[in-house]
Structure formats: C-alpha cells, structure tokens
Chain A
Amino acid sequence: MSSISELYDVSWEEMRDKLRKWREENYRNSEQIVDVGEELINEHASKLGDDIWIIYEQVMIAALDCSRDDLAWSCLQELKRQFPDSHRVKRLAGMRLEALERYEDANKLYDSILQDDPTNTAARKRKISILRAQGKSSEAIRELNEYLEHGLSDELTTTTLSCSYAKAAFCLEELMMTNPHNHLYCEQYAEVKYTQGGLENLELARKYFAQALKLNNRNMRALFGLYMSASHIAASPKVSAKVKKDNVKYAAWATSQISRAYQMAGRGKKENKCSVKAVEEMLESMQITMS
C-alpha cells in the first residue's frame, strides 16, 4: 500500500501544515486526519519537534472516531509518558473509555480530575455528554447546573470577551435566562453593554445594573455601574427632559447608597479613610460635570 506522501506527492511539511489547518479550523475529517497523522507520526516523528504532542492529541481523537483503538492507544501512551500528571491527557483517556462505552470508568476518571480542579470545564462537559449518550437527560441538566455554579460562567465570559463584546453579551443573555436570580450575570451583562457604548446600550446597562441590585443590594459594582450609566444618560444632549430628570434621580439614589456603604465600611478603620475620601470626592466631581 503506498503512503500518502507517494500517493499525493506531498512532503512531510505539507502534511504537518495540513494537520495544523484542520486543527485550527476544527475540521472533523477524522479519516483523513488518521491517514495523514499516522504516517507523519510513524515516519517523521523526529522532525516534528514540539508539534508532535498536539498532533498525538489530534490523531488520537480522530482515531477514536474511526474505531482505530490501536492507534488511539499508542498516541495516548506517548502523551501519558510525556505528561504524566496532566488533566488534559486524563481527559483524553476518558474519551477513549467513552468510545469503548466504558462509561463508569470514564466517569471515574473525570471525577478524579474534578476533585483536583472543580473548575475543569472539559471534564464536566464530558460527564454531561456521557449522560446524554445514556439518555439520562434530567441528570445531564443537574450536571449542567453544577457546571454553571462553579463559577465557570466566568470562564465562559472571559473566553467570549476575548472574541467580541457582542458574543459575550449573547453568552450572558443565555446565562441570565437559565439563571434569572443570579445577580452576577446581570451585572456583567450591564458592564458589557456599558462598554459597547451608545445611548441605547447605556440605558440597557442602567436597567441591568438596577436588576442586579434588586437581586443583591450589596453588589458594589452594580451600584457604581448604576451611578455611572445614569449619570452619562442624564448628561447626554440627546435625551428628553423627563429621561434626564429620571436618570438624575437614579444617580442621586446610587450616590447616597454608595456613600452610606463606604461610611459603614470605613467605621473604625483608619486605612479605609483613604477609600472613603476618594469616593466622596469622586462622586462630587462627577456630579459637577453632569450638571
């Protein structure tokens, strides 16, 4: 049987680059990946340098798709040898067990990852997919909620924020829908809207800061956010007199709440006087620019 390189007249570099392209663009053309990857690993491993590890991972996953447990096993062994304590490699081992339908064993592996690192998104996701595969939908939903409770929303938000504010807003909208009582999502959503800017977004921001405060009246970010968004709206030349008046009221309310909170915090602690004074002056100066 002729090799890929002979069949298609490609060099090992081109094969490596193809693998990278498929990896970066998330192609699941598993059969091709297995063909190209297997040859690359068997014939050209020494030339690949540090790329080899990620290639082992990519080929292993593709091998599982093609029921090539022999190949998946050998890739896994290489990865285990190089990264003996890695959670990422453990997860791959779990995926192999899933492919073999050894779900109990896979779950044990994922649980051990989560014991070490409760915020490990990947392990939780695998557990959820196992439940789905077994048709256990109510348990899958329970796992999903635990997923969200462990502050993984932060991971989600952080990741999507690096893509775009619009994506982050979208992600938060979903989170707010499934977790209407969570003040943090409201507040983060408001922050994204504020950052996107423009009058409409500022008004949305103000609404969601207010909502966050309704859910938790001690959320300082929401309080400051309410103050800032209301102030900006009131200062905008585009708003009607009524809107301006309303927002001045919101801002004034927020100011009083902020002052009160800082005064209570500063009570008895000398070092907090700096913060208290800074806040007072800041609120004063912002009020001057607003009128």
Chain B
Amino acid sequence: MKMGEVELSCLAYAKMYLHASQFPRSSVNGLLLSSSPAGAAVCITDCVPLLHSHLSLAPITQLALTQVDVWCSQTQQRIVGYYQANACVSDSSPTPCALKIAEKIFEQCNNAVLLMIDGEKMFPGCRVPPIVMYERKDARWALKDKHTIMLRQWEETCSIVNQLFSSGDQTLLVDFDSHLDDITKDWTNQKLNAKIMELISPANGNV
C-alpha cells in the first residue's frame, strides 16, 4: 500500500454499517482501529461502536476513549480514526463534536482519518460505499481523494452485510452506550466478530 492510502476491512465496515442501521433516527459514532503497525498507509482492521445518543456530551465519550485505549494496548491495536453517522441523513458533514474527537485522535496518530457515513447512500443494492473520508491537511480536515480509499472485495462485503441481516445477527452488535445500560454486554463484540470472520474466511479468501 502506498503513502496516504487507507484500507477499510470488511469487519470494520460491516460493524459500522450495522451500528448506523441499528439506530436509524439517531446520530451514532465509533472508533476505527488498526492492528497493523504504524506506517505511511492506514489499515482499518476493526471498529468499536460507541454512542447512539448525546454524542456531544463529554463524560461518556472520555470514558469510552479511555477504555478503548486500554483495550487496544492489551490487544496490540491502535486507534486510527473516528466514524460518525448523522441522524439527519441528508447531511453527512462532520459536526463540531466529530472534529473535536478526530483532533484528539490525530494527536496520537498522525495519519488519523475521520469517516462520515453518508445516510443517503445506505440502501441495499447501492453500488457505492456510503462513506466520506477526511484527513488532516494544513491544520484542517480535508476530503480525502476517493481513489486512495481501498475497500477490497466490495461486493463480498455487501453480501456479508446482507447475510448478517437475514440471519438476524445484526442484533448482536453492542455499542458502548448499550454496554452502559447493561454491563454484561460486550462492547468489544467478540461474538459478532467471530460470526463475521466465519462469513469472510471460507469461500472468500482474506478480505
């Protein structure tokens, strides 16, 4: 992979999509993680869904960032970005809260990405990934060139997401908010991750 390229794994994409679908009338957000070493390119290998209400309130966000940070250091992952889907589907621009959190992440990761989910493109059969990415350039967050964003095996990824919905497994997704409502729920989504990896591996090769 080349300098400035960003790769988004099927696992990360699927969970983001599921998160946004689970709360269609709310804004949702989460963190993007990488298990690859730091380099010129960014490989987003996983994500942690965080909130589905009151995204702009500080305490829970701070709490989540700290916990995810700790979990990452235990599992050899890094926080490399932030995603958000706005409640208002026609507006996929980053909110002040999104920019704030992305800045914080940028302080620790100099090729951090800010990913906005474009609600208008989130329908079955859409040919284009419903995402808009931003990167830090000249002290502001600028739109990333679409050609530097890699979503390998896009059709496979779409089919996996569909399978999750038809098997009802999309309900397995737990975000940090839901975890706080019931702390027996696992915000690291081990169960769902396993299900997705199962769908990825046999016929489809590594996605």
Contacts and interface: CB of A to CB of B under 8 A. Distances in A.
Nearest to B187: A275
Contact of A271 (B71, B183, B191): B191
A262 interface: yes
Given A161-B54, A191-B54, A275-B179, A228 B59 contact: yes
B180 interface: yes
Contact of A274 (B59, B62, B181, B186): B186
B170 to A, nearest CB: 18
Contact of B57 (A161, A220, A279, A286): A161
Contact of A191 (B57, B179, B181, B183): B57
A281 B67 CA distance: 8
A143 B60 CA distance: 32
B57 A275 contact: no
B22 interface: no
A187 B188 CA distance: 25
B70 A282 contact: yes
A7 to B, nearest CB: 37
A158 B183 contact: no
Contacts of A158: 26, 53-54
A278 interface: yes
Contacts, number: 82
B71 A278 contact: yes
Contacts of B57: 161, 188, 191-192, 194-195
A263 B63 CA distance: 18
Given A262-B183, A269-B184, A221 B59 contact: yes
A204 to B, nearest CB: 13
B171 interface: no
Given A194-B58, A195-B57, A278 B63 contact: no
Contacts of B68: 278
B59 A191 contact: yes
Nearest to A205: B59
Given A157-B54, A188-B54, A225 B59 contact: yes
B39 to A, nearest CB: 26
A101 B8 CA distance: 59
A73 interface: no
A225 B59 CA distance: 6
Question: Which interface class (under 10, 10 to 19, 20 to 34, 35 or more) fits A?
Answer: 20 to 34
SS class, residues of chain A in contact with chain B:
helix
Nearest to A276: B183
A191 B60 contact: yes
Contacts of A262: 183
B190 A274 contact: yes
A228 B63 contact: yes
A191 B58 contact: yes
A111 B161 CA distance: 37
B169 to A, nearest CB: 15
Contacts of A190: 59
A46 interface: no
Interface of A: 154, 157-158, 161, 188, 190-192, 194-195, 197, 205, 220-221, 224-225, 228-229, 261-262, 265, 269, 271-272, 274-275, 277-279, 281-282, 285-286
Interface of B: 26, 53-54, 56-60, 62-63, 66-68, 70-71, 74, 179-181, 183-184, 186-188, 190-191
